[in-house]
Structure 1
Amino acid sequence: MFSGASAINLDAKGRIAIPKRYRESLHACHNNQLVITVDIQSSCLLLYPIHEWEQVAAKLASLSDTQPTERAIKRMLLGYAHECELDGNGRMLLPPPLRQYANLDKRAMLVGQLNKFELWDEAAWQQQIEQSRIAILNEDLAANERLADFSL
């Protein structure tokens, strides 16, 4: 399970280094293999350990090729999907189309989301956090069935 937000840098070749705290789990449980794709609701990338991606791929396979929205979702997620393996230094290369989609240049944020990571441009991440904070403050959590009993 992945959690926490880590500031990371892209090198001149477009590589990122996964923070050490995640590398052991990625090596032991997923053989250093990840799939990177786009987030269809935000301008960020999603990094799935290979076994998690297999579950996503199974869900995508069940979507229709004739229903336009389902087909568009498949096209985006599968079309951008890129399998990669961490090198000996815990680095992975982000293909140019994926870097462009998320507006990644030099500074980024890698954000654990339990079964996957989000990869954001650092400025976009800060903007997203502020928008999320405002949305939560404006939401009547008690009126939301899924959040009514949620407490920390």
Structure 2
Amino acid sequence: MFRGANIVTLDAKGRLAMPVRYRDEILASSNGRLVVTLDVTDPCLCIYPLAEWSLIEDRLRALPSLREETRRLQRLLIGHAVDLELDGAGRVLLPPRLRSQAALDKRAALVGQLNKFQLWDEAAWDARCAEDLQRLQEPGALPDDLLDLIL
């Protein structure tokens, strides 16, 4: 289970050093193998342990292929998916095209999302957090079923 936000640095080659606290779980659950793809709703990347990504692929495969929405989702998620593997130093090499799509440069935020990570440009992450906090302070911003989860 991945949680927390970590500010990380991408090196000149686009390698991301996975924080030590996540490495054992990634090695245990997926033998160090990950899949990175676009996030279809936020300007960031999603990084899944291979075992979790396999579940996503199974669900995508089960969708009716005659629906345009299904094909669009499959094109974006599967079409941009790239296999990664932790190297001996716990790093993964992010493809230039995906780094560009998410506007990733040097400093990024690796954000645990339970079964996956989101990888944001640090400034975009800070802006989104500020926006989310502001919106959640508005009256009625959270429906009761969501509010009950945290109270």
Q: Is TM more than 0.5 here?
A: yes
Deviation of 1:54 (Å):
0.6
Give 1:83's aligned residue: 83
1:30-41 aligned at under 5 Å gives the runs 30-41=30-41
1:109-120 aligned at under 5 Å gives the runs 109-120=109-120
Secondary structure of the equivalent of 2:145? Answer: coil
Give 1:44's aligned residue: 44
Q: Considering only aligned residues, what root-mean-square deviation do their CA atoms show, in Å?
A: 1.3
Give 2:101's aligned residue: 101
Preserved CA contact (<8 Å) 2:48 2:115: yes
How many residues of Structure 1 are paired with residues of Structure 2 in the alignment? 151
CA distance in 2, matches of 1:52, 1:74: 16
Preserved CA contact (<8 Å) 1:16 1:94: yes
Q: Following TM superposition, where does structure 1 have runs of at least 4 consecutive aligned residues deviating by more than 4 angstroms?
A: none
TM-score, with structure 1 as normaliser? 0.94
Gaps of 5+ in 1: none
TM-score, with structure 2 as normaliser? 0.95
Gaps of 5+ in 2: none
CA distance in 2, matches of 1:40, 1:85: 23
Deviation of 1:150 (Å):
2.2
Percent identity between matched residues is: 46
Preserved CA contact (<8 Å) 1:36 1:45: yes
Secondary structure of the equivalent of 1:59? Answer: helix
